[in-house]
Structure 1
Amino acid sequence: MFNPRTYYGEQTDSEPVQTEAQAWQLEAKADRRRAGNLRAAVFKPRLNLHKIFWLFVICAIIGFCLETLYFFIKYRHFFGSKGLLYGPFSQVYGCGGVILAATLSSLVKKGYSVLFLASAIVGGLFEAFCSLLQEGTLGSVSWDYTYQSLFLMGGRTSVAAMLYWGVLGVVFMKKIYPSFSIWIDSLPKRQDHLVTRIAAIFMIVNMVLTLAAVHRWSERTRLIAPEHSIDVLLDTYYPDDYMRKNYPGMRFE
């Protein structure tokens, strides 16, 4: 603590000389400790539906941006990486962010190595589950790691992909999630709830429409004729060319 007696050159037998710079350093350390305690406290409250929804949306946008940047660096052109028909959203990353927050909150204080390992395992298993779910429900595959030497689970994930999830999980849990929690808790409740309802309706319609369009696209690849008016509308507004442009990496088994 800053001592005015030592600052003005007075020294006592019991107190060491303390300069102004040293006093500010001690105060800065105390501020960092308080900030660290605040960040740690962020992980104590349980996730509610409101926070889960916005966490999904933000992570879906971040995931879209990361994949777009990755493909641009690798192929030198923008490659379609969105998961929904409308908006810059990747629902795999959105769900992944929610799962990481729900499963890894208790491990944040365990250290970087433990958090990295847990993130890699959770992320790899989640990615494999998403691949199985997509193939089982829609008969399609959006990624395949069999071209890598260390692929796992039939190419549904890989060691490299798990390492990527490990790094992503550490950055997310240490930096992104604490800031997000503080921000979402500071929003005015009345206006926030109205915006959340509108955004939730949009996302639900967007996801249902995406599932319907991809399902109908899968049927067209198997030469299944439209059975009702909804199929006709999907064929009209979301034809094969449109779907291939939005999902260039998707293939049907």
Structure 2
Amino acid sequence: MIRISLFIIICFLLFRAVSGAVSRYQDRHGAGASFKRMVRQGRLDAGVYDDAVWFEVGHGRRRRLRSNISREQQRVIRQARLEMREDFLDDNNPGFYQYVIIFLVASVLGLVLETVYTFVTFGILESRVGLVWGPFSPLYGFGAVLLTAVLWPLRKRPVWQLFLLSAVLGGLLEQVAGWSMEQFAHLQSWTYLGLPDHITQWVAWRFLAMWGLIGVLWCRVIMPEMVYRIGEPTSKRQKVVVGLLTAFITLDIVMTVACFWRAGQRSEGVPPRGPFEAYVDTHFNDDFMARTFENMKVGEDLPVSSK
């Protein structure tokens, strides 16, 4: 788990480094959507081209002028972009629209990164999805939403406060998720009982520290940029799409809970009660569950590891 968390953090930092390099390239040439937005809003004026060097680019008749903006003016552009982002974040708190997108993005990226990590590290390519439909790992999505909802008004607090609060939130999330799966579906996906620093079956000190680190990075590096890039819906189409995605993911979660509930009941020999449970047993039987959720165990304990 620690290695997976570090792998995810490294991937996010690499993405941030790449996006920063793209932004610096655009600043140098006076290009990009954010540059044009700052010009429209009056945050930048013609003075940004002072001392710029102009040259032609293109082929044949499709030639145009491109600028190489001076380093001093590039600093002006970066400062204007930072101010524009901070003004947006101060005036717009995340709402339902942003939380849905954050949940979906974190669920998909978390699944992809975990799958890649497992294959690269252990040579194992297995299904690590958390829902019956779609490439989603909802624990990552719920974690991102929880950190965003709680830390948003506190994002400018000292780092040590963010670290402690994130550690507590992460521990509570793991405990509630692990306990709920065990109690209501006889399902186990992870266990820390073999670790010397475990607190409960689903919480250990080392992972609380990792949650704290993830929370600080999320709050200071990832969350502001993600919320800013998501922005506010500017058309009815965006609202409709997010509404349909919400309906789908809600149905997906409900059906997944029902499937795991029946899987646990089947492991105890309990027959279906009613047409819906019979439908679940027919279309989401034990073979389907074992094939789809390869890293989870229904009705049995996971092997205890000391790693």
- Mark the CA change 1:248 to 1:155 in structure 2 (over 3 Å): closer, same or farther: same
Quote the residue 1:239 is aligned against.
285
Amino acid at match of 1:68: T
Residue by residue over 1:87-143, the C-alpha shift from the partner in whole angstroms, topping out at 9 and shown as x without a partner, is 111111111111111111234333545434432332122211221222233232221
1:132 counterpart = 2:179: yes
Quote the residue 1:99 is aligned against.
146
- Rounded Cα–Cα distance in structure 2 between residues aligned with 1:147 and 1:35: 49
Quote the residue 1:226 is aligned against.
272
- Rounded Cα–Cα distance in structure 1 between residues aligned with 2:161 and 2:84: 22
- Mark the CA change 1:90 to 1:238 in structure 2 (over 3 Å): closer, same or farther: same
- Rounded Cα–Cα distance in structure 2 between residues aligned with 1:89 and 1:127: 17
RMSD: 2.5
Quote the residue 2:107 is aligned against.
60
Q: How does 1:170-249 map to 2 (within 5 A)?
A: 170-185=216-231, 187-249=233-295
- Rounded Cα–Cα distance in structure 2 between residues aligned with 1:155 and 1:38: 45
Matched position secondary structure for 1:93: helix
Quote the residue 1:87 is aligned against.
134
Alignment coverage as a number of residue pairs: 233
TM-score by length of 2: 0.68
- Mark the CA change 1:116 to 1:35 in structure 2 (over 3 Å): closer, same or farther: farther
Residue by residue over 1:29-70, the C-alpha shift from the partner in whole angstroms, topping out at 9 and shown as x without a partner, is 343333333444454333321222111111111221222123
- Mark the CA change 1:146 to 1:63 in structure 2 (over 3 Å): closer, same or farther: same
Structure 1 range deviating more: 225-234 or 189-198: 225-234
Query: Is the helix fraction higher in 1 or 2?
Result: 1
- Rounded Cα–Cα distance in structure 2 between residues aligned with 1:40 and 1:146: 44
Quote the residue 2:156 is aligned against.
109
- Mark the CA change 1:163 to 1:69 in structure 2 (over 3 Å): closer, same or farther: farther
Matched position secondary structure for 1:27: helix
- Rounded Cα–Cα distance in structure 1 between residues aligned with 2:73 and 2:127: 49
Q: How does 1:132-171 map to 2 (within 5 A)?
A: 132-152=179-199, 154-171=200-217
